Amino acid sequence: MSNLFYQTKSPRPLLDRAQGIYMWDVDGKRYIDGSSGAMVSNLGHSDPDVLAAMRAQMDKSTFGYRLHFQTESSEELARKTAALAPEGLNKVFFVSGGSEAVESTLKLARQYVLTQGQAQRYKVISRYPSYHGCTLGALAITGYAPMAAPFDPMMQRMPKIPAPRAYLDGLDADDPATGLHYANMLEAAILQEGSETVMAFVVEPVGGASTGALVPPAGYMQRIREICTQYGVLLIHDEVMTGGGRTGRFFGAEHWGTVPDLIALSKGFGSGYVPLGAMIARDDIVEAVMQNGGFIHGFTYAGNPLACAAGAAVLDQIAKRDLVGNAARVGAVLQERLEGLMQRYALIGDVRGKGLLTAFELMADRATKAPLDPALNAHARLVDIAYDNGLIIYSRRTRGGTSGDHFLVCPPLITSEAQVDEITEILDRSLAQYMAELPA
């Protein structure tokens, strides 16, 4: 009997070891990590250069409290991170995960508006569905009702606008009118709330777990930027999942060339070697807050030298091996293979994504987009079948958390085309098995 009480859908075996895109349980069974954990292990497992950098740091120090010492590795990682960030965003604040990164953006934003004499601005608009983390602040802006419901009385409810799911609404995502249609919902929400009360808008450049690799329609990101600028609303890009090269650009928003005011980063940034995340902020925002008493926020493990040494080595490997380029190239092949499966399985209603942030969605009817009967629990069952077949994929309920079944196929950025074929073959077999189980 385990003393742990994590939530798991089915009992899982003990992990023995992991290498590259593969993982082995203690019985010697091999699995392809087709979801990089939870879209984390961008660099794959047990990279020897990252492990060597970690060992070298461990021999020097594994902890130095940020109020007592500067550390070389945190300075180095901050420098490398700022060099990758858009112009004007050079200030980096380290944390240990995605929820902490998002919380940090919200609190820095709030302190900044106070320095601007705008105490009435506190509302944070986000999208439904969306996922921004499970701490109470991040949960308040997360658009996922089942996860938030028990905690509702403890949180300040924040306004939401619909995520731009053109494929469900029967709209053409390539038509700029579609992008405008969804982005203008932000303007309507700002006006409805009272623009003087709105502090920030938070958006995942490519949707993650909640929408299943939802790519915004043409013009959407640009119009969002325009609206935020017009109404003095801070734009926060939640790049926790999209950052670190996953979409085929280091930051997901680079696909649209839009520059936010604050960025939350985690997952692929540390690639799972150690808990690591970061907030990246516009220089003048940080300067204003620092000149007005400083940032009243911080976590004990922030800037941990071991985590930062691992992070710096991860960034080096991503650059040295052009893993961002590989994500774009191999992601295109993976998407093509998933589209091939879509032609053979009527159950697949949509294939979407960017780079190696790729997903497919099962539907009862592709034409009407009707979801499968929620009682079938397709999101859990297909994952279990694939798992038994040696492939790990990641699934969620896509329609507000209560129905719709999408599956993220997001292997590490080191994945080769031949390994994409391996993944496709197991998926093909698993889908056939799933179909055979369905009631006639």
281-310 positions binding ligand PLP, by CB under 6 A: none
Q: Tell me if 240 contacts ligand PLP by CB under 6 A.
A: yes
Ramachandran region, residue 213 (left: φ > 0; alpha: ψ -120 to 50; beta: rest): left
- Amino acid in the structure at residue 248: G
Least distance CB 28 / ligand PLP (angstroms): 30
**35, 266, 326, 358: residue in contact with ligand PLP (rule CB under 6 A):** 266
Question: Does 133 interact with ligand PLP (rule: CB under 6 A)?
Answer: yes
> If we measure between CA atoms, which residue out of 424, 416, 400 comes closest to residue 338?
424
Determine the interface stretch with ligand PLP among 127-135, 228-236, 309-317, 414-422 (rule: CB under 6 A): 127-135
Q: How far is the CB of 344 from ligand PLP (least distance, A)?
A: 30
Q: Is 241 in the site for ligand PLP (CB under 6 A)?
A: yes
Q: For residues 314 and 311, give the distance between their C-alpha atoms in angstroms, rounded to a whole number.
A: 5
Of the ranges 15-23, 94-102, 221-229, 283-291, which one interacts with ligand PLP (CB under 6 A)? 94-102
Q: Is 179 in the site for ligand PLP (CB under 6 A)?
A: no
Q: Residue 353 belongs to what H/E stretch?
A: strand 348-354
Binding part of the chain for ligand PLP, among 8-16, 129-137, 177-185, 283-291 by CB under 6 A, reads: 129-137
- Record the tokens describing residue 312, joined without a space: 């710096």
CA 246 to each of CA 20, 206, 358, 371, 419: distance values in angstroms, whole numbers, following the listed order: 16, 10, 10, 28, 17
Is there binding between residue 205 and ligand PLP (CB under 6 A)? no
* 99 lies in the site for ligand PLP, by CB under 6 A: yes
What is the spatial distance between Cα 159 and Cα 122, in angstroms, rounded to a whole number? Answer: 11
Q: Is 141 in the site for ligand PLP (CB under 6 A)?
A: no
102 part of the interface to ligand PLP, by CB under 6 A: yes
**C-alpha angle 305-308-311 in degrees, rounded to nearest 5:** 155
Cβ(143)–Cβ(129) below 8 Å: yes
Listed residue (385, 428, 398) closest to 129, CA to CA: 398
- 227-259 CB burial, b ≥16 within 10 A, e <16: bbeeeebbbbbbbbbbbbbbbbbbbbbbbbebb
Q: Work out which of 97, 159, 252, 311 binds ligand PLP, going by CB under 6 A.
A: 97
Residues of 145-156 as b/e, b for ≥16 C-beta within 10 angstroms?
eeebeeeeeeee
Query: Does position 393 bind ligand PLP by CB under 6 A?
Result: no
Q: What's the rounded Cα separation, in Å, for the pair 242 and 250?
A: 8
Using CB under 6 A as the binding rule, whether residue 47 contacts ligand PLP is answered as no
Nearer to ligand PLP, 50 or 138 (CB): 138
Within 207-236, which residues bind ligand PLP (CB under 6 A)?
208-209
Collect all residues with Cβ–Cβ distance below 8 Å to 55 and sequence separation of at least 6: none
Binding segment for ligand PLP (CB under 6 A), chosen from 81-89, 125-133, 285-293, 341-349, is: 125-133
Candidates 93-101, 325-333, 337-345, 417-425: pick the segment binding ligand PLP (CB under 6 A). 93-101
Residue of the chain from 238, 350, 361, 405 that contacts ligand PLP (CB under 6 A): 238
Phi, psi at residue 173, to the nearest 5°? -65, -20
Q: How far is the CB of 307 from ligand PLP (least distance, A)?
A: 13
**Binds ligand PLP (CB under 6 A): choice among 45, 121, 127, 132:** 132
Q: Whole-number minimum distance, CB 72 to ligand PLP, in Å?
A: 25
Considering the complex, what minimum distance in angstroms separates the CB of residue 40 from ligand PLP? 8
Q: Is 398 in the site for ligand PLP (CB under 6 A)?
A: no
* CB closest to ligand PLP, residue no: 98
DSSP 214: P
Which residues are near ligand PLP by CB under 6 A?
A: 38, 97-99, 102, 131-133, 204, 208-209, 238, 240-241, 266
